[in-house]
Amino acid sequence: MSRRQFALPERVSPAPLDDTGCTVLHVDMDAFYASATLLSHPELVGTPVIVGGGTRGVVLSATYEARRFGVTSAMPMSRARRLCPQATVLRPDHDLYAAISAGVMETFRSVTPHLEPLSLDEAFLDVSGAVRRLGSPATIGQLIRDTVHDEQGITCSVGVAPSKFVAKLASNLAKPDGMVVVPHDEVVPFVQQLPVAALWGVGDRTEESLVRLGLRTVADIAHTPLATLERAMGTATGRHLHELSWGRDPRPVEREQREKSIGSDETFEADLDDAVLIRRHLLALSERTAGRMRAAGLTGRTVTLKVRFSDFTTITRSRTLREPTDSGRAVHEAAVGLFDALGLQRARIRLVGVRMSGLLEVRRTPIQGVIGEPEHGWRDADRAVDRARARFGSGVVRPASLIEPRTSASVRRPRDLS
């Protein structure tokens, strides 16, 4: 479903109603990356803040104060700055996001094993098996909201409904920091009061096609003959829209699937042709990727390097390690080896990325020690760094080569921390 916001229909109350049978919850963190970043900048709460990288990057997230100026996720940073020049720009902190997301997902798992994560910051939950233990679905939704706020310091919005589709609609309408319950007998009027853009899978182009047909609300779609919809939109799309317009969504909550890969990339402020600088960036990306694997309880065997040149040509190279690892040092060694093997001579590079695949759960894959390596080595050091970062912030410990020299050129402007 589109992340566009819609007004709450008058006949649906945000207060809990009859939630009998409404055992599907959709929980979505509010402006997750921005909210998490502000934990380290409490003085900026309530002000326009954009999380993103440089003038050539894109917006990762923005506070609701910045969104009022038209700033949206994935928007080019240059445009976001023009729309909201008074905003404070903060660099993303991916280690922090991974740690908070891991905590949020553990909260969900304490409620039910029937969990379907959609991203770091949202998931579906089937709480039918938790009702006897924890109370009604709405009570469980409020418990989750309170726990996330108390333990992670951020807010989330919850939709409570009989199906995934309606629960996701409800959580979108509950934003920010709210909960909407859609009773079973209110599903059809709830859905049909919404604009067509609210339907799952309706993007800008589909919306334009529907409006050209005179279909502006979901009710308009519901009362259009199925044959007409199929003829105008195609058989699959027409039937899909028809089913959703009557609130029908039989899909169950799918048990969570482990990520197939974990990685990070970086677009440079200006194209780089200095191999030493590029290796430093690869070190930061390798440490970030390894930290995310450790937070998820995973190791990986295959390291993939991505390089994008100034003309946007992109290449990837991979290497499979002898043993699975979650060590930033091991990932970096492999990534640098792949980069050096390219033999690039002063090529102008726009972006580099590091990704790990072949992921395995740590508890199922004890990591083989290296002959001659001390008993307490890099893995223990990595975990000590993780604990320090969790307590004091991600920038408190870092490799020495990533520490910027204290020069006047490196002093950041007071209102732009990018």
Q: Is residue 256 part of a domain?
A: no
**DSSP 8-state secondary structure symbol assigned to residue 33:** H
Assigned domain for 415 exists: no
Average pLDDT over residues 214-221: 94
- Whether 128 and 208 map to the same domain: the answer is no
The residue type of 265 is D
Answer yes or no: do 35 and 170 share one domain. Answer: yes
The strand pairing partners of 317, in sequence order, are 305
Q: For residue 49, give the nearest of 102, 104, 93, 6 by alpha carbon.
A: 93
Q: Which of 60-64, 97-101, 226-230, 405-409 has the lowest mean pLDDT?
A: 405-409
**Distance from C-alpha of 163 to C-alpha of 137, rounded to nearest angstrom:** 13
CA–CA dist 148, 142 (Å, integer): 10
Residues 327 and 221 in one domain: no
Cβ atoms < 10 Å from Cβ of 162:
22
Residues 33 and 176 in one domain: yes
Summarize pLDDT for 102-153 with one digit per residue, the tens. Answer: 899 999 999 999 999 988 899 999 999 999 999 999 999 999 999 999 999 9
Q: Does residue 311 share a domain with residue 341?
A: yes
What sections of 252-327 are H helices per DSSP?
275-295
Please indicate, yes or no, whether residues 398 and 274 belong to a single structural domain of this protein.
yes
Comparing 401 with 41, the larger pLDDT belongs to 41
CATH number of the CATH domain containing 46 = 3.30.70.270
> Do the Cβ atoms of 338 and 319 come closer than 8 Å?
yes
Q: Where is 115: in which H helix or E strand?
A: strand 115-119
Mean pLDDT, residues 303-318 taken together: 92
Residue where a domain terminates, one of 147, 182, 217: 182
Domain count, the chain: 3
Sequence-ordered list of residues with C-beta below 8 angstroms from that of 30, at least 6 positions apart, any chain: 64, 154, 155, 156, 157, 175, 176, 177
Residues 28 and 127 in one domain: yes
Segment 283-306 mean pLDDT: 91
Q: Is there a domain that residue 255 lies in?
A: no
pTM recorded for the entire structure:
0.68
pLDDT band at 415 (very low <50, low <70, confident <90, very high): very low
Q: Quick check: is 265 in a domain?
A: yes
320 and 397 housed in the same domain: yes
pLDDT at position 254:
87
Please tell me whether residues 208 and 64 are part of one structural domain. Answer: no
Beta strands in 237-358 (DSSP E): 261-272, 298-309, 314-325, 349-357
Helix (H) or strand (E) holding 160: strand 156-161
Mean pLDDT, range 54-82, rounded to an integer = 91
Rg of the chain (C-alpha set): 24
Write out the catalytic residue numbers.
122
Share of the chain above pLDDT 90, in %: 64
In a domain, 6, yes or no: no
Instruction: Answer yes or no: is 12 within a domain.
Output: no
- Residue 11 located in a structural domain: no
CATH of the domain at 398: 3.30.1490.100
Tens digit of each residue's pLDDT (9 = 90 or more) over 333-374: 999 999 999 988 889 999 999 999 988 887 644 444 444 454
With 0-12 CB in 10 A as exposed, 13-18 as middle and 19+ as buried, what is 343? exposed
d(CA 6, CA 12): 13
Residues 234 and 164 both lie in one domain: no
200: domain CATH number is: 1.10.150.20
Q: What is the pLDDT of residue 277?
A: 94
Judge whether 412 lies within some domain.
Answer: no
Same domain, 199 and 344: no
Which has the closest alpha carbon to 316: 263, 245, 374?
263
Domain that holds residue 341: 261-403
- State whether 95 and 225 are in the same domain: no
pLDDT tens-place string over residues 6-58 = 444 444 444 446 899 999 999 999 999 999 999 999 999 999 999 997 767 88
